[in-house]
Structure 1
Amino acid sequence: MTIPPAAASAPVLIIHPDQGATADIARALAAAGWLTATPGTAGHGKHAVVVLDATHHADGAAPGIARVRQSAPGVPFLFLTTRETLEDLLAGGTLPGDDYLLAPFTAADVALRLRWLTRNGTAVPSDPELTVGDLTLRSRWFLARRGPHQIPLTKTQCAVLQLLMQNPGNVVRKEEIVNHVWPGIPGRGGNNVELYISYLRRKINATGPPMIHTLRGVGYLIKPAPTGPGVDAASNRKTMFDAGGHL
């Protein structure tokens, strides 16, 4: 699979301690028409993107990355990382405006992310936060936050939550969730939806009052948590939902 380059004309700088991995990425990108460079051949020109292995970066995560970024002001970074290192990057405020790939990944995965970052020849900002009440979601990071609490999500959990948060206060039918999360895949029915809704409820309810509610036999909705016992914060009337989030 080859991913054609976008409008970026400057080279992609690859910083990785593994020479074999660097060569594989550079070879795949070059074969698809991307310009590439490594620290030994980079010179001092402008780069379209810096691809940086954060997991094995010699100086550790935040301090070493900060020094690298100073040498490439305004250039977006694509971080190659693991879930553990990703959490360190998020905690240090490193990622906003950039992008990342969680290991394991392929050279084609790198090319896809680069095409996104260099679309129209400029860096594309990360997706905006979705917010419902005190819950926010950054879908490309698979990360939600409720108040001061970070809530890591799997890819599927994130997709389900994203659909609900794009329709706050509105019932999303089970079949809509199936078509959104598992398009064209037979056998992904209501039981899977119920399973992932239960996962999300456990994670979100652990940090505050219930927000995801069930309309029996129809679907699910998300709305801000009540401000007081039995009171709907949006309309200041008695809510139809019980403590478990069901009608």
Structure 2
Amino acid sequence: MKILIADDDPQLVRALRITLAVHGYAVVAAADGAAAITLAAQTHPDIVLLDLGMPHLDGIHVIEALRGWTTAPIIVVSGRTGSADKVDALDAGADDYVTKPFQIDELLARLRALTRRSTAATGEPVVTFGDVAIDLAAKAVTRAGERVHLTPTEWRMLEFLARHPGALVTRQTLLKEIWGSEQVTDSGYLRLYMSQLRKKLEPDPARPLHLLTESGMGYRLVTDTADSAQ
């Protein structure tokens, strides 16, 4: 498995090269954002480890550029600890966020988790409700046959609900699934993203039939409207 490391800290890159090689990964590295995009296009890495504060091109712009053509998992490895930085990175399309300094065992565990998630994506079902179809393998949503654009965070929320149709998914479960193992509190983020999903997917967003709120607990995706009648 090939990993692209995009970081302008040569000591960190050197240490990661050695450690990851020991664990069977092939490593390519770029020292600035523009080089990272070029190298990714040339080498097609399986996973990208990306710093946010790089020369020439900010990490957020690198994520957005990569997401234009690849679904390879992106792990942000950054010294920025603010929740706004994490939200921006995840919304841009990153899959995980690790704060520097970090334990190598934690990074390896996250690499393994993303590897399992990406290799399990083949043969996924299509979940439907109303005139909406959620293709879990293609990471695509259509409504009445037309493609619906979702932000990466909206997709993560919908995807998790679609993988557990009919089940109550708690707010804490969604926070952990969307923003990783870091301790994140719900400051209205989930309500905001659920509101956006309803606007895009519900016939009447003010009276949802499928994307339901369970007061004080979490959310539920109902694929059969007969089940949502209360």
Class of the TM-score when normalised by the shorter of the 2 chains: 0.3 to 0.5
TM-score relative to the length of structure 2: 0.48
Higher helix share: 2
Q: Which has the larger radius of gyration?
A: 1
TM-score by length of 1: 0.45
